[in-house]
Structure 1
Amino acid sequence: MAQKEFERGAGILMHISSLPSPYGIGSFGKDAYEFVDRLVGARQKYWQVLPLGTTSYGDSPYASFSAFAGNPYFIDLDTLIEEGLITKEYVDSFRWNIEEQYVDYGLIYNSRFIVLKEAYKNSNHKALKEYKEFVKENDFWIDDYCLYCVCKNDAESTSWQDWEEDIRFRKQEALDKKIEEFSDELDFYRFLQFKFFEQWFKLKEYANEKGIEIIGDIPIYVAMDSADVWSHPEIFQLDENLEAKKVAGVPPDAFSDLGQRWGNPLYDWNKLEKDDFSWWRKRMEHSAKLYDIVRIDHFIGMTKYYTIPAEDEDARNGKWEKGPGMKLIKAISQAIGDKKIIAEDLGVKIPEVVEVLEKSGFPGMKVLEFAFDGDRKNEHLPYFWTKNTVAYGGTHDNDTLMGYFTGLQYWELGYIREFLECRHGSIEDIVDKLFTCAYASVANVVIFQMQDVLKVGNIGRMNLPSSMGTNWRWRMTKNQFGDKEVERLRYLTDIYGR
C-alpha cells in the first residue's frame, strides 16, 4: 500500500550542532526549545535535522560510529547542572569556542568528555528504573556500541580493522576480558546514551506538542569503521579477513570525471533478505522513535547500487548492481508503522528506481539550486514539480543561496533574474523571490536551510562534498533568528496556504 501524501506545509533545515549555545556546539537545551517556539511563530510545520549519530574524524554526521547511537556532544550541559551532576563553575572553567558562529571540534573533543565523565561520576543512574528500561529496550545495539567505543579507546582510536585479531574477529574470550577490564568505562558510554535519548525525547515531545514534526535523516550506508560493521560483519560484503570486497560510490558524471568513491562497505542483500531484513527493520524502528518523518539519503541504492572494487582509488571501474527494491521498502514500511518517509532520489534517473518510488508513494526531492542551468526542461524547475514532492532551496551539500547566487557568472544570474522577474534587484531580493517561488508552488512540502532564511553568505555553507577541514561548523548566533525573519516566513506560509 502506497504511503499517503504529506499535507501542504513548510519547514526549516538546521542541524542540532548549528543551534546557539554557550558551550561551543548546539545541544538539546534552552536554545533548542526557543528555536521550536520561533518555528511555531513562523507557521512552520517541519524541523529537519541531519543524522544525530556520533561523529568521527572529519566531523561528518554522515560518517558515524553507529547507526543507532546518539552524539554525546548534543547532551545539554545546563540540564546536567540543573540535575546537580556538575556545577556551573566547573563547566565555565573550560574554553568552548573561539568564534561564536563556528563549532571548534578540537576544543569540543578535548573538553566535552571530561565534563561528561564528571557528570557520570556524580550520577545514580544505575538505580533508576528508566535507565534499566532504556538499556533493555536498546539491547540490540547498545552493548556492542559501548564495547566498540572502549576497544577503540584502548587501541588509540584506530579503526577496528587494525585491532588485535581476537578482538577484530570478536572471539568471546577476548571480549569477556575487555568487558571485565573496562566495566566502568562501558557504563560511562551507556550513561551518555541514556542522557542523549532522555534529552532528545523531551525536546521532540515539546516540538510535537507545538505542532512541529521532526524530519530525521539516515544515510543508506554505514561507515566501515563503525560498531555496526564490527558487530554484524555477516550482513556486509566482506572477505575472510573482514576487508571490504567492494565499496560504495557513484559513477562519473558531468561534475566529476572520476566519479565518487565513498568507501562504505556494501550490504550483502541476499543474506539480509533471508532473515526478512531484520537489521534494517530494527534500524527503521529505532528511527521511527527518534523522528516523525525519516528521509533516506541515497534512496537509489535500495533498488540499484553502484559497486567499486575496493582496491580502486576512484569510481571509474564501478558497475551498477540490483538491490532488493520493493522487498526492502515493504519491510521498512512495516517497521515504521504510520511514520512517513522522504526519498532522497537526487542524481542519475534510473527507470527501476522511478518505478519503486511510484509504487511506494514516497515523495522524491527537488532542489532549486540545481534548476537554473539554462535547460528549460530541467526537472528541478518549479513548473515541473508535482504535489508529492519535497522541494528544497538547497541541501546540506549545497552552498547557501546567497553564496550560490554571488558565485554565478553574469549570464547565469541573468537567466535566474528573468525566471524570477527580478531584473534589477539585489542578491537579497533574488533570495526573497526564490522563497516566494517555492512557497507558491504545487509541492506539498517546501524546506529551506536556516542559513537561507538569515541570508548568510558562503561562510554558512554546511558541507562541500569531497573536502575536509571546514565542514559542519556553521552556527546560528543568539537572537539571529529574529522577528523580521519570523514575520516573513509567517507571511509566506499564510498567503500560500502552508
Structure 2
Amino acid sequence: MAHERASGILLHPTSLPGSGGIGSFGAEARIFVDLLHASGQRLWQVLPLGPTGYGNSPYSCYSAFAGNPLLINLETIAEEGDLLFAELSSLLPGDRVDFDRVKEHKLPLLKLAAGRFFEGENLERKKEFWHFCDTTFWLHDYALFMACKEHFRGKSWNSWPSELARRSLDTAALYSKKLGAVVGEQKYIQWQFFKQWHSLKAYANAREVRIIGDAPIFVAYDSADVWCNQYLFQLDEHGKPTVVAGVPPDYFSKTGQRWGNPLYNWKHLAEDGFGWWVARLKSDAGLYDLVRIDHFRGFESFWEIPAKEKTAVKGRWVAAPGEGLFKALCDSFDSLPLIAEDLGVITPEVERLRDCFGLPGMKVLQFAFDGGPGNSYLPHNHRRNCVVYTGTHDNDTTVGWFSGLSSGQKSHVCHYLRCKPEEVVWEMIRAAMSSVARYAVLPLQDLYGLDSGARMNVPGKANGNWSWRVGAQGFTDTMFVRLSDMSKQYNRVPG
C-alpha cells in the first residue's frame, strides 16, 4: 500500500445512475471518477465484480475470475458497431435495480452483439478478441460452464448428466463442440467486460484515483470454480458439500449466518502450493489497485457447519493454513496489495496473522460505541495501518443506524462526537477523516445523508438486497465540495 493519507468513496458500479436499469462502465462512471478527482478523493471502493447468481449477491458468483455482464455498457458496444443505437431505445429507468428485468433486456442484446461480431469482417478486432481468449486461462472453462447452465435451463452443475457433472474431459470436450456457439457468446461477453473495465480503471488511475476491489474468501457452490476444481473442496462422492461456510451468532444475527458456500480442502490446496489462490489473487491484482480480502479471519480458522444444518448455530472453528498461504502469496508478489477485512470475532491469532504480513485491517465507526473507551473501533484507538469506514455495505446507513439507537446510546454518540443529533452523519465523517488511519472510505449514502431505504445489504436476508442506485437525479456536487474541504483539513489530499 502507498504510505500517504487518502480518502475515498464506497460505491458499487451497479449503484451508478444512468439508463439501462443498472449502473455500468459508461459515461456516468467517468463522471463519478471526475467528482472523486475534483474533490481530492483518491480511492474508489467497489464490491466484487463477478457474474452474480442466486439473490444477485456479488458475494455469490458463478466465477471468481469472470465479470458481471450486467455491468457492460451497451452504448459503448453500439459505438463499436456490434449493436444499433435504435436497439437501445427501450432501456429501463429506475432508482432501484430490477435485476430480472435488466437480465431480460440486456443479456439478449449482448448475445445479438456477439453474433454480429463473429459475422463481421473487422480482422483487427477479431485479432484482439482471440488474443484475449488465448491469454485468459480460465475463460474456456467458465464459458463452457455458463453454456451448459443455459443448455440445462439453469440447473446447478451437480444436476447435469453425471459424466459432465464430474467433469470427464471427454464429455467436456463433447459439450464444448455441441454448445460451441454459446461458448463463443460467453467469451465475447467477457472480452467486452474486461475491455470496458480496464478502460475505466485506466481513466481513474490517470486522474489519481485508485480502485479498491473485493475478493470474497469463499466461492459459490454452483460456480465454474467448484465444477472445475472439485478436489479442492470438501464434497462427497456425489459432488455435494459435506460442510459449508458461515459465521456463528454475532452482531448481525442471533442464529449466525449460514452462507452455504463449500469449504476448501486446505490439504489439497497446500499440496498444490496454493496455486489456485495465487492465480485468483493475481487475477484480482490485474483488476484493482488494492484488494480487500473479505472474511480474513477465515484464513486463520473458519466456522465449519455440517451441510445438513439449517442455521449456523451448530458449527465449530477449524484451523486454516493461513501462514502457508500468505507465504506463497509473498513469493508471487513484490508486495501484497491487500486489505484484511478483520471484522467480527477476531482472536489474537487472527491479529498475528494479519500483522505478520503487514496487512492493514478495517475499523467501522458504527461498531465503536459499545464496550467503553477501550473499544478498538473508536478513533482514539485506531492505528496507522488500517482503513476506517463510517459503515460498509453490510451496515445500515449512518442515518438509519443512528435512528435505531436508544436515547441513551444517541446521547453517548453525540457526547463523544461533540455534536447535536442532526449533525451526527457529518461528524462521523469528520471522525473518519481525522483518524490516524491511513485510508478513510465513506459509503456514498452517508455523504448524502440517506436513511435505511438506501441500505445496500441486510446480512442474513436472502432477497431484496444490492438494488440501491444513486437515482435519476445523479450526483450532488455540493456534498463533494464539503468533502473536499474536510479532506484538505485532515491532510488526505496529496500535495
Q: TM-score range by the shorter chain?
A: over 0.9
The answer on 1:132 being equivalent to 2:126 is no
Indicate the residue corresponding to 1:284 in structure 2.
281
Alignment gaps of 5+ in structure 1: none
The answer on 1:433 being equivalent to 2:431 is no
Amino acid at match of 1:464: V
Choose from 214, 232, 235 the match for 1:217.
214
* Aligned-partner Cα distance in 1 for 2:253–2:106: 38
Q: TM-score, normalised by structure 1?
A: 0.95
Cα distance per residue 1:242-298 (max 9 Å; x no partner): 111211111223654422211111111111111211100100110010000010000
Choose from 219, 227, 231 the match for 1:230.
227
SS of the counterpart of 2:185?
helix
C-alpha contact 2:364 2:392 (8 A) present in aligned 1: yes
* Aligned-partner Cα distance in 2 for 1:464–1:105: 17
Amino acid at match of 2:438: N
Once the two structures are overlaid, the 10-residue window that deviates more, 119-128 or 301-310, is 119-128
The answer on 1:96 being equivalent to 2:92 is yes
Equivalent pairs, count: 488
Q: TM-score, normalised by structure 2?
A: 0.96
The answer on 1:356 being equivalent to 2:350 is no
SS of the counterpart of 1:413?
helix
Indicate the residue corresponding to 2:152 in structure 1.
155
* Aligned-partner Cα distance in 1 for 2:82–2:335: 38
Choose from 78, 81, 85 the match for 2:78.
81
SS of the counterpart of 1:12?
strand
C-alpha contact 1:282 1:335 (8 A) present in aligned 2: no
C-alpha contact 2:396 2:452 (8 A) present in aligned 1: yes
SS of the counterpart of 1:239?
coil
Using the TM superposition, give the Cα deviation of residue 70 of structure 1 relative to its aligned residue in structure 2, in angstroms: 0.1
Indicate the residue corresponding to 2:445 in structure 1.
451
C-alpha contact 2:250 2:344 (8 A) present in aligned 1: no
Distance 1:351 1:275, change over 3 A: same
* Aligned-partner Cα distance in 2 for 1:298–1:257: 19
Alignment gaps of 5+ in structure 2: none
Using the TM superposition, give the Cα deviation of residue 59 of structure 1 relative to its aligned residue in structure 2, in angstroms: 0.5
* Aligned-partner Cα distance in 2 for 1:276–1:378: 38
Using the TM superposition, give the Cα deviation of residue 354 of structure 1 relative to its aligned residue in structure 2, in angstroms: 0.9
Using the TM superposition, give the Cα deviation of residue 332 of structure 1 relative to its aligned residue in structure 2, in angstroms: 2.2
C-alpha contact 1:288 1:339 (8 A) present in aligned 2: no
Using the TM superposition, give the Cα deviation of residue 404 of structure 1 relative to its aligned residue in structure 2, in angstroms: 1.2
Using the TM superposition, give the Cα deviation of residue 478 of structure 1 relative to its aligned residue in structure 2, in angstroms: 4.6
Distance 1:254 1:472, change over 3 A: closer
* Aligned-partner Cα distance in 1 for 2:332–2:58: 24
Indicate the residue corresponding to 1:497 in structure 2.
491
Cα distance per residue 1:378-418 (max 9 Å; x no partner): 21111110011100110100011111112222111111111
Indicate the residue corresponding to 1:463 in structure 2.
457
Amino acid at match of 1:90: E
Indicate the residue corresponding to 2:377 in structure 1.
380
* Aligned-partner Cα distance in 2 for 1:19–1:316: 37
Indicate the residue corresponding to 2:58 in structure 1.
61
* Aligned-partner Cα distance in 2 for 1:148–1:356: 36
Using the TM superposition, give the Cα deviation of residue 209 of structure 1 relative to its aligned residue in structure 2, in angstroms: 0.8
Choose from 478, 484, 488 the match for 2:482.
488
* Aligned-partner Cα distance in 2 for 1:436–1:174: 59
* Aligned-partner Cα distance in 2 for 1:192–1:365: 35
Choose from 192, 201, 204 the match for 1:204.
201
Cα distance per residue 1:209-252 (max 9 Å; x no partner): 11000000010000011000000001111122111121111122
C-alpha contact 1:307 1:319 (8 A) present in aligned 2: yes
* Aligned-partner Cα distance in 2 for 1:176–1:221: 28
C-alpha contact 1:6 1:388 (8 A) present in aligned 2: no
Choose from 392, 400, 403 the match for 1:395.
392
SS of the counterpart of 2:54?
coil
Amino acid at match of 2:405: L
* Aligned-partner Cα distance in 1 for 2:97–2:276: 33
* Aligned-partner Cα distance in 2 for 1:24–1:36: 20
Using the TM superposition, give the Cα deviation of residue 479 of structure 1 relative to its aligned residue in structure 2, in angstroms: 5.2
The answer on 1:414 being equivalent to 2:411 is yes
Instruction: Map 1:118-197 onto structure 2 (within 5 A).
Output: 118-123=112-117, 124=120, 128-139=126-137, 141-197=138-194
SS of the counterpart of 1:247?
strand
The answer on 1:115 being equivalent to 2:118 is no
Indicate the residue corresponding to 2:436 in structure 1.
442
* Aligned-partner Cα distance in 1 for 2:251–2:50: 32
SS of the counterpart of 1:380?
coil
* Aligned-partner Cα distance in 2 for 1:347–1:329: 21
SS of the counterpart of 2:14?
helix
C-alpha contact 2:269 2:276 (8 A) present in aligned 1: yes
Using the TM superposition, give the Cα deviation of residue 339 of structure 1 relative to its aligned residue in structure 2, in angstroms: 5.3
